[in-house]
A and B are shown apart, each in its own frame.
Chain A
Amino acid sequence: MLRKVISVLLISMLSLSFALSGVYAQQRKIVEYGIVTGLDLLNTPGAKAWAKLFKDFETRYNVKIETHNFASETFVQEFMAARMGGEQIDVLLLNGQDLRFFATSGMLEPLKGKYNVSDINKRLVPFTKQVYTIGGTQWAVSVGGISSSGLYYNKTIFKKIGVTPPRVYKDYLVIRDKLRPLGIAPLTHMGQIIYMWPMWFFVTYGQLTKGKCVDLTTETLKGEMKFTDQSYVQAFRYIQQLAKDELFIPGVNTLNREAAIGTFMAGKAAMFFGGSWEIPGFRNNPPAGFDPGLVHTPKFEEDFPYIETGGAGNAAAIYKDSKNKDLALEFIRFLSSDENAKLLAEAERQVMTSNKNVPGSDDPLATIMRRHLPVTKVFLDWIWPPEVNKAFQINLQALVGLQTTPEDAAKYIQNVFDDLVKKGYKFIE
């Protein structure tokens, strides 16, 4: 029998890599490329599930899956090389952040007409379709876990100093003062990894705009607002205040992922703001006495709402030059099925899956995190163009390093955006 060959280009997305394992650095180092089944995914908690899933599809459809697995940050150049090298690509599993670029660059098959996915959409959380619809066209289907954020805290330390987790900003200061004699920093963060700084902005701006952060971002990118507007500057002020009040661990901008998680788990810092993808990492060989709790990210002002940030799973899309588009669609359908979504959810301890028929992990932290989902706003860097994203990243890092002012940061970002517009950037809603 003729064996069709389907090539699946797998990308270790930020969300995926974080969600899967908390071994992000390991993934970053191992960049596999080639017609291999030795995926990065095979080194993660969800590895066996992914392997089984591919095997099942191969058996069921009598096909052979070839996977090319890249780290998120090197994906574009690796994809470029694969494409120029004439590699067969049928399915793209993208970081949601990359979807906009791929869709607007004409790399994806629109999911309409012959490739209508309304049957798949019925089993997905509606919000995910909205995120992957650009310019009125759906370009991808969400697979995997939906993420959210929150403030993790070390219950043992909090018990020791006799305080409850922070609810509003001023609580941070009380905790800081009680921690100081113990030589424990209030907050740790992977400050060296600049693409993690915008997480703070998403939540802060979300609170400040009372949850309208996505709409206002869209307006800004359409030119109806400016990054120098007061709301942006004020959000920067709040974030810089964290540094001015010495809430971050000293040298926060030199901490990579391992160091940040390490300082939190080792009790050198009492709190850690992060996403649901951190949960499996906290459960994997925790040091004795480490008992993390989770609360909403504290509000900067009493009258602000709680806002969290997260992503709508990974984007499964059909590559526009695929020679097996029907089969590619079938793979996506297979991937998002209740049965397979459940398989992955369990293996990856997903807080909540994009498939609404599949319950999330029963981990106590995951249960708390699920309560954050109603106030979760999509990562704004899924909407920002990459230049603006980078401008935010470096300026937020510099704000915390007290190397720039909120006003200058805002100006810098607006200048980058103005330059983009001059070169022809136009936002597609």
Chain B
Amino acid sequence: MKVTATKKREWLIAYTLILPAFLVYLIFRIYPVFYGFFLSLQDWDGFSAMRFIGFGNYREAFNDKIFLLSLGHNVIYAIFTVIGKNILGFILALFLTRKTIKLMPLWRTIFFIPVVVSTVAFGIIWSWLLNASFGLVNEMLRAIGLSVLARSWLSDPKVVLLTLIMVDIAKWTGYHTVIYIAGLQSLPSELFEAAYIDGARSFQVVRFITLPLLLPIIGINILTSLIGGFSVFDLVFILTGGGPLHASEVIMTRMYSVAFQFHRVGYGTAMTFIMFIVVFILSVIQLRLTQRRSYEF
């Protein structure tokens, strides 16, 4: 096929327009990844000369009990937050797309507010709510006669990880809800009308029409929440710092300690690369699964 001069000019303009953004992406996204990998192969305290140690940092990580514990916590964290955020987000989206609901913009805003609140502020608020001695959560439990459930949510190793998962879900469900709402609104209404005419019940409509059609959206939501679950740092850092005694330690908090408190930048970077590989593999699997089952309409 012959490429016309007009086409060539269009391409040139297109690439020229893309170039600045591409350069920014290259410098601030791609280069740090490669430089990070380079750092992960070094023994470096951040100040002194680097010493190349090959995959020594990676070997150390797989023998580091605290790192492995943190990785395990990340897996649990990711599983529960992905499930929690997506189920709640989907249910909320169904509720918030019903035409019978009054004051819809207000409801949507209310559920989206936690997303726009800074994580630091959100974390601090929750640290007060969950405070064992004067926190609202325990006070409420006591008020309704469930004082047996009141506890030190953030310092009891048995519940601390679960508590963090709950707070994370509270923070990010609104974000996933918005994506589900967008997905639901893009679905063709004829299908639903036809289903209802054929006598389908609401549950059947959701199960056999909504969910299959929403698979690409579900895929996006799972992917973003999965990445969020593995890369969580701020909430954990603010609420527990990874404690007590590593009970809520996740890879990013461990990496922070190692790199910036113990001055082992190379080792800390290696930890993040291991996490990157884990997330990458899971993302590929998840994308393949959702792509295979996607429906077109």
Contacts and interface: CB of A to CB of B under 8 A. Distances in A.
B263 A192 contact: no
B48 A192 contact: no
Given A386-B261, A401-B155, A403-B157, A250 B132 contact: yes
A105 B47 contact: yes
Interface residues of B, number: 34
A394 B153 contact: no
Nearest to A395: B245
A4 B247 CA distance: 52
Q: Is the interface of A mostly helix, strand, loop or mixed?
A: helix
A192 B236 CA distance: 12
Interface in B34-56: 45-48
A256 B45 contact: no
Interface in A191-249: 191-192, 194, 249
Interface stretch (A61-69, A75-83, A150-158): A75-83
A413 to B, nearest CB: 12
Contacts of B156: 401
B119 interface: no
Nearest to A251: B132
Interface in A96-111: 101, 105-107
Given A105-B47, A192-B127, A403-B244, A254 B263 contact: no
B264 to A, nearest CB: 9
Nearest to A191: B155
Contacts, number: 95
A194 B265 CA distance: 22
A298 to B, nearest CB: 23
A101 B154 CA distance: 32
Given A386-B263, A390-B257, A76 B154 contact: no
B127 A76 contact: no
Interface residues of A, number: 35
A76 B46 contact: yes
8 contacts: A194-B243, A251-B131, A253-B155, A254-B135, A255-B131, A386-B262, A387-B262, A398-B243
Interface of B: 45-48, 120, 124, 127-128, 130-135, 152-157, 240-241, 243-247, 257, 259-263, 265
Given A80-B47, A250-B132, A394-B245, 13 more contacts: A80-B265, A83-B47, A106-B48, A185-B133, A191-B155, A192-B155, A194-B241, A249-B133, A251-B133, A254-B131, A256-B127, A390-B262, A394-B246
The 8 closest A-B pairs by CB, nearest first: A251-B132, A253-B155, A398-B245, A250-B133, A254-B154, A80-B46, A251-B133, A105-B47
Interface of A: 29, 74, 76-77, 80, 83, 101, 105-107, 185, 191-192, 194, 249-256, 259, 263, 268, 386-387, 390, 394-395, 397-398, 401, 403-404
